């Protein structure tokens, strides 16, 4: 295994145990409320967009209530957008006045965020956009995404990209110096020629690791949601490969391995509706059942789920997201041991749901109701105890005339009588905890 892979494994141990985190996309784009790409999509010039930034005065922002919500949902870490592509900063930067500290908001939102979340016992991370649509030295005309990409007015504009890079590196230095110990830095994102050392990524990552030893970094200094450029997947990670890959709005169809076959840490980032930043008209909320089942699926494939919320311009997390997180939290409260510290069971996926595993503890996540007893692909003599995780109640392995043909399988039932049928105790996901007796 590549030596860098060992370091990555070590750094990411807590992260891969945590499994479930909160992504927070928040900024001036919450005012127009049409998602965080609005400036690009609607080709809004900087001065016009800056009006939204000046109007962003979140009078109902209460980071402690966000942190409590995250903890109660069972999340173990949270990542806030310190700066998104629009360039508007939620932190105090000596390098620009374009921030919530100098705008009428008059708050260092990053400082308040890290304090509140740490106090709730969560790990904290910051998202920082490599892209910047506010800085005059970021490529405008002809860029793939810039709001002014097809404005003739900028056809002869010659950005001094190095000046932008000095600014960007300087801001990353500020974030890594002024907010205590950060657990994650989430860069976003590389595209076209702006990849790797085009960002002076080697120098950047050296600085980050010097200031924040142990920090976990995503893979987007050389990639984007499209992970093909991630050297982490080649088995030969570059200096700035980052520590995990970041599939976006997709649940990987299988565990993610590099070319040598070693499993690579990954985190799927997923929205609660279909936008990252607040979008007032998007009411396509995912259900708690879907989110929870996808979290289980991620864990069963060795990955994390980073679930997004997009607070509104006044600072409130949308009620539908709050309801979703509370419902997931009620389940996590009882079933957390089947998620935290768990990974793939290294057994075939069962028909009725998924398996997760932590050492000799195997967790059967049963999604589908059955007729009569349910078979788990394990020989009963490998099992020392079987319990319903949510309440600790014993589930006796069933041996009856109708199961006897499959004597090498473990059969269980949730009905009072082994051969009767009744609804699953938990319709979202009924977890059976199986303690294995063998030393394999
Ligand atoms: C993307 C988008 C962005 C979002 C991010 C989350 O790359 O540009 O708006 O912040 O992914 O993964």
- The tens digit of pLDDT for each residue in 368-407 reads 999 999 999 999 999 999 999 999 999 999 999 999 999 9
Task: Summarize the confidence of residues 258-279 as an average pLDDT.
Answer: 96
Mutate to test the pocket of ligand 1, among 81, 276, 279 (most ligand atoms within 8 A of CB): 276
Span from the CA of 192 to the centroid of ligand 1 (angstroms): 16
Q: What are the residues whose beta carbons fall under 8 Å from the beta carbon of 6, sequence distance 6 or more?
A: none
Using alpha carbons, select from 110, 81, 62 the residue that is nearest to residue 22.
81
Mean pLDDT of 93-108: 98
Report the C-alpha gap between 313 and 311 in whole angstroms: 7
- Binding site membership of 276 for ligand 1 (Cβ less than 6 Å): yes
Q: What is the average per-residue pLDDT within 277-292?
A: 98
380 DSSP assignment: G
For residue 220, give the ligand 1 atom closest to its CA.
Answer: 7
Q: Which atom of ligand 1 is nearest to the CA of 224?
A: 7
Structure token digits, residue 111:
């400082």
Pocket test for ligand 1, best of 29, 189, 219, 227 (most atoms within 8 A of CB): 189
* Integer angstrom CA distances of residue 413 from 26, 239, 423, 424, 425: 46, 51, 10, 9, 11
> Around Cβ 191, how many Cβ atoms within 10 Å?
16
Calpha distance 133→127 (Å, rounded): 16
User: Residue 255 has what pLDDT?
Assistant: 96
Q: How confident is the model at residue 439 (pLDDT cuts 50, 70, 90)?
A: low
3-class secondary-structure state, position 30: helix
CA 223 to chain centroid, in Å, comes to 16
Mean pLDDT of 56-67: 98
Average pLDDT of 55-83? 98
Kindly state the helix (H) or strand (E) to which residue 123 belongs, with its residue range: strand 123-129
36 lines ligand 1 (CB under 6 A): yes
C-alpha 25 chain-centroid distance: 12
Q: How far is the CA of 189 from the centre of ligand 1 (A)?
A: 8
pLDDT digits (tens, 9 = 90+) for 399-431: 999 999 999 999 999 988 888 899 999 999 999
What is the 293 CA–ligand 1 centroid distance (Å)?
23
Q: How far is the CA of 78 from the centre of ligand 1 (A)?
A: 16
CA–centroid distance, residue 69 to ligand 1 (Å): 23
Distance CA 275, CA 279 (A): 6
Rounded percentage of the chain residues whose pLDDT exceeds 90? 95
Return phi, psi of residue 257, to 5°: -125, 155
Helix ranges, 199-287 (H): 201-211
3-state percent breakdown (helix, strand, coil) of the chain, nearest 5: 30, 20, 50
Q: Tell me the C-alpha to C-alpha distance, in Å, between residue 4 and each of 48, 229, 233, 259, 309.
A: 45, 17, 12, 15, 33
Residue 104 has pLDDT above 90, yes or no: yes
% of the chain beyond a pLDDT of 70: 99
Q: Measured from the CA of 225, which atom of ligand 1 is nearest?
A: 7
Q: Read off the pLDDT of residues 139-171 as tens digits, 9 standing for 90 and up.
A: 999 999 999 999 999 999 999 999 999 999 999
Three-state secondary structure string covering 200-225: CHHHHHHHHHHHCCCCEEECCCCCCC
Ligand 1 centroid distance, CA of 82 (Å): 13
Q: Is the pLDDT of residue 258 over 60?
A: yes
How many angstroms separate the alpha carbon of residue 404 from the centre of ligand 1? 53
DSSP state of 160: -
User: Can you give the pLDDT at residue 226?
Assistant: 87
- Whether 106 has a pLDDT exceeding 80, the answer reads yes
* pLDDT value of residue 367: 98
Q: Which residues contact 253 (CB under 8 A, 6 or more apart)?
A: none
Of ligand 1's listed atoms, the one at least distance from the Cα of 35 is 9
Q: Is 248 in the pocket of ligand 1 (CB under 6 A)?
A: yes
- Share the mean pLDDT of the chain: 96
Please identify which residue in the block is written with the tokens 């195997």.
362
**Residue 1 CB burial class (10 angstroms; 0-12, 13-18, ≥19):** exposed
> pLDDT value at position 225?
82
User: In the chain, what are the domains?
Assistant: 3-341 (3.20.20.80), 345-436 (2.60.40.1180)
pLDDT interval class at 3 (50, 70, 90): confident
């Amino acid at each position: 295994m590549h030596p860098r892979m060992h370091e990555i494994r070590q750094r990411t141990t807590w992260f891969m145990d945590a499994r479930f985190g909160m992504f927070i996309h928040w900024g001036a784009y919450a005012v127009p409320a049409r998602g965080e790409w609005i400036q690009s999509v609607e080709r809004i010039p900087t001065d016009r967009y800056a009006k939204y930034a000046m109007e962003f005065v979140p009078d109902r922002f209460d980071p402690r209530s966000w942190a409590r919500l995250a903890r109660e949902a069972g999340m173990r870490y949270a990542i806030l957008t310190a700066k998104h592509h629009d360039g508007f900063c939620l932190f105090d930067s000596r390098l620009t006045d374009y921030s919530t500290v100098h705008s009428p908001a008059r708050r260092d939102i990053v400082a308040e965020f890290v304090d509140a979340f740490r106090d709730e016992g969560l790990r904290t991370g910051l998202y920082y956009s490599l892209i910047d649509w506010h800085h005059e030295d970021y490529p405008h005309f002809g860029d793939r995404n810039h709001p002014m990409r097809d404005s003739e007015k900028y056809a002869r504009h010659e950005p001094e990209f190095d000046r932008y890079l000095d600014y960007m590196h300087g801001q990353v230095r500020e974030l890594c110096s002024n907010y205590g110990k950060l657990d994650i830095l989430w860069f976003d994102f590389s595209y076209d020629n702006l990849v790797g050392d085009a960002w002076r990524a080697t120098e950047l990552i050296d600085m980050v690791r010097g200031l924040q030893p142990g920090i976990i970094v995503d893979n987007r200094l050389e990639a984007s949601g499209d992970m093909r450029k991630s050297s982490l997947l080649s088995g030969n990670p570059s200096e700035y490969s980052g520590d995990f890959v970041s599939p976006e709005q997709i649940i990987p169809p299988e565990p993610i391995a590099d070319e040598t076959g070693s499993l690579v840490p990954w985190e799927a980032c997923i929205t609660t509706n279909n936008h990252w930043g607040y979008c007032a008209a998007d009411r396509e909320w995912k259900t708690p059942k879907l989110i929870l089942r996808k979290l289980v699926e991620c864990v069963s494939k060795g990955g994390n789920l980073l679930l997004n919320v997009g607070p509104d311009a006044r600072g409130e997390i949308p009620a539908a997201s709050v309801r979703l997180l509370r419902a997931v939290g009620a389940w996590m409260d009882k079933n957390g041991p089947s998620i935290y510290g768990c990974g793939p069971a290294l057994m075939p996926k069962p028909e009725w749901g998924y398996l997760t595993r932590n050492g000799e503890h195997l967790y059967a996540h049963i999604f589908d109701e059955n007729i009569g007893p349910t078979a788990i692909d394990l020989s009963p003599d490998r099992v020392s105890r079987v319990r319903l995780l949510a309440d600790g109640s014993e589930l006796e392995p069933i041996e009856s005339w109708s199961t006897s043909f499959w004597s090498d399988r473990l059969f269980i039932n949730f009905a009072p009588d082994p051969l009767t049928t009744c609804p699953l105790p938990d319709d979202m996901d009924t977890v059976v905890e199986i303690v294995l007796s063998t030393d394999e």
